[in-house]
């Protein structure tokens, strides 16, 4: 059976060669990046803020040293981590996954998330994705955050509540909003599913990109009000913010 799958894969690749998830160049296997796109990604690594996961330009002198933004306004989650920086190199990768039906990358993304969020998964009880509005879900046909959460769940063997959170209303795109405007835009936009049980549990909230943290912060508050013991955040990409 293994040989049949092997030659079936070879035949399919000959007819429809696998393409780089980021640029569309031909690659060796499905769900992979070409060497150029891989080398262009800036993976998030220490030293970084232990709370928001923003990488520091220089070592602040201690693993517990928070960035100025978190010191001034601590987010509701406990820890946030990301796989790579969201920039010109990684943007096509996420946009193809999010809007262009390039879903074959989900298994690889799950592995990347598991590595980036290893410390968050140690005592995690439940993985919950950021939800989409029902009309956007109908138009897109899938929730990219839910696909990431499910891939991470398969990789980590942690339970996933794919519909644990509900989006109550459609919010305007936030691309040009300030931090304060983003927070107002998502306030009251989320609610727990009636059957969601997070009481006393450590929850890992998953999304594709962390920007200002407004959406992830509002979802974290909902989970904490529902009784979660702790909420951590894990994303594929994160926008690098200027120092506060």
Q: Are 33 and 112 in contact (CB under 8 A)?
A: no
Residue 173 has pLDDT above 70, yes or no: no
Dig out the tokens for 221 from the structure: 């508050």
Report yes or no on 243 lying in a domain.
Answer: no
Same domain, 2 and 49: no
Same domain, 30 and 88: no
Rounded Cα distance, 155 and 151, in Å:
6
Mean pLDDT of the chain: 88
CATH code where residue 186 lies: 3.40.50.2020
Same domain, 21 and 95: no
Q: What's the start-to-end Cα distance of the chain, in Å?
A: 58
Same domain, 77 and 14: no
Dig out the tokens for 118 from the structure: 């290893």
Same domain, 33 and 154: no
For residue 175, the model assigns a pLDDT of 59
Structural domain of 146: 41-238
pLDDT tens by residue, 31-66: 889 999 999 999 999 999 999 999 998 888 877 899
With CA atoms as reference, report the closest residue to 82 among 124, 42, 123. Answer: 42
Report yes or no on 161 lying in a domain.
Answer: yes
Q: How many domains would you assign to the chain?
A: 2
Q: Are 20 and 3 in contact (CB under 8 A)?
A: no
Rounded Cα distance, 97 and 86, in Å:
14
Same domain, 141 and 192: yes
Could you give the C-alpha distances from 136 to 46, 73, 93, 133, 167, in angstroms and in order? 36, 31, 20, 5, 10
Same domain, 75 and 166: yes
Determine the average pLDDT of the residues in 95-105.
Answer: 86
Same domain, 32 and 51: no
CB contact set of 180 (below 8 Å; sequence gap of 6+): none
Dig out the tokens for 1 from the structure: 């059976």
With CA atoms as reference, report the closest residue to 150 among 134, 163, 167. Answer: 163
Same domain, 119 and 93: yes
Report yes or no on 104 lying in a domain.
Answer: yes
Same domain, 87 and 6: no
Report yes or no on 244 lying in a domain.
Answer: no
pLDDT tens by residue, 113-162: 999 999 999 999 999 999 998 878 878 889 999 999 999 999 999 999 99
This prediction's pTM:
0.89
pLDDT tens by residue, 177-186: 666 767 777 7
Give the range with max mean pLDDT: 14-28, 210-224, 230-244. Answer: 210-224
Same domain, 142 and 111: yes
Same domain, 218 and 195: yes
């Amino acid at each position: 059976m293994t040989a049949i799958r092997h030659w079936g894969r070879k035949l399919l690749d000959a007819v429809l060669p696998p393409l780089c998830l980021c640029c569309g160049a031909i690659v060796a296997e499905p769900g992979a990046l070409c060497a150029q796109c891989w080398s262009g990604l800036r993976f998030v690594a220490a030293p970084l803020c232990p709370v928001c996961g923003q990488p520091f330009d220089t070592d602040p002198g201690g693993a517990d040293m928070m960035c100025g933004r978190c010191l001034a306004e601590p987010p509701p989650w406990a820890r946030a981590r990301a796989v790579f920086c969201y920039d010109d190199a990684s943007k096509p990768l996420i946009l193809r996954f999010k809007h262009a039906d390039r879903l074959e990358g989900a298994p690889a993304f799950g592995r990347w998330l598991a590595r980036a969020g290893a410390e968050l998964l140690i005592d995690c009880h439940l993985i919950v994705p950021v939800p989409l509005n029902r009309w956007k879900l109908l138009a897109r046909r899938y929730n990219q955050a839910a696909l990431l959460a499910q891939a991470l769940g398969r990789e980590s063997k942690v339970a996933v509540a794919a519909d644990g959170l509900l989006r109550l209303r459609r919010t305007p795109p936030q691309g040009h909003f300030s931090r304060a405007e983003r927070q107002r835009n998502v306030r009251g936009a989320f609610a727990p599913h009636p059957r969601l049980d997070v009481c006393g549990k450590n929850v890992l909230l998953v999304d594709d990109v962390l920007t200002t943290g407004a959406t992830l912060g509002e979802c974290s508050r909902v989970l904490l009000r529902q009784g979660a013991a702790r909420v951590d955040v894990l994303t594929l990409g994160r926008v690098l913010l200027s120092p506060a």
